[in-house]
């Protein structure tokens, strides 16, 4: 049985994919567009692939130019995350998700963050305001 959690829609859409968690903020300019691999040195998920996954992270980092450029290049190579679950959205990250049409949500309860793990199948339904973790 799936666990369902209420959330707040930032950018519309629905996606189901494998989860990847980052305890650190993400600068999308540091993600290799050709395969979606995090290249930032000493980042908690350095070497991990975020492409086509539900990315769960605290928020973005870097200027608006590097954030949008990084997302744009990921999109060009079809290696965007499937959805974004963010704890602390900022205007640059929000604008990027909306422009690139990536489902993005926030305001999940602490129980979600206690339950979720890397590699789980996650459904983000921003339109209906919920996130599900498959068992």
11 catalytic? Reply is: no
Catalytic residue among 11, 19, 22, 63: 63
User: Three-state secondary structure along the chain?
Assistant: CCEEEECEEEECCEEEEEEEECCCCECHHHEECCCCEECCCCCCCCCCECCCCEEEECCECCCHHHHHHHHHHHHHCCCCCCEEEECCCCHHHHHHHHHHCCCEEECCCHHHHHHCCCCCEEEEECCCCEEEECC
CATH architecture of 3-133: 3-Layer(bba) Sandwich (3.50)
Give the pLDDT confidence of 110-122 residue by residue, as tens digits: 999 999 999 999 9
Confidence of residue 9 (pLDDT cuts 50, 70, 90): very high
Mean pLDDT for all residues in the chain: 96
What per-residue confidence (pLDDT) applies to 122? 98
Domain boundaries, the chain: 3-133
Give the pLDDT confidence of 24-77 residue by residue, as tens digits: 999 999 999 999 999 999 999 999 999 999 999 999 998 888 888 999 999 999
The answer, as to whether pTM is greater than 0.85, is: yes
């Amino acid at each position: 049985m799936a666990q369902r959690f209420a959330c707040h829609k930032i950018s519309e859409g629905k996606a189901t994919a494998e989860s990847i968690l980052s305890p650190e903020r993400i600068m999308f300019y540091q993600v290799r567009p050709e395969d979606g691999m995090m290249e930032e040195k000493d980042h908690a998920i350095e070497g991990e692939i975020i492409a086509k996954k539900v990315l769960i992270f605290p928020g973005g980092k870097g200027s608006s130019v590097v954030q949008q450029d990084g997302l744009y290049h990921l999109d060009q190579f079809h290696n965007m995350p499937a959805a974004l679950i963010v704890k602390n959205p900022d205007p640059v990250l929000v604008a990027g998700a909306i422009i690139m049409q990536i489902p993005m949500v926030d305001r999940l309860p602490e129980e979600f963050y206690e339950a979720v793990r890397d590699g789980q199948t996650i459904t983000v339904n921003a339109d209906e305001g919920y996130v599900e973790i498959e068992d």
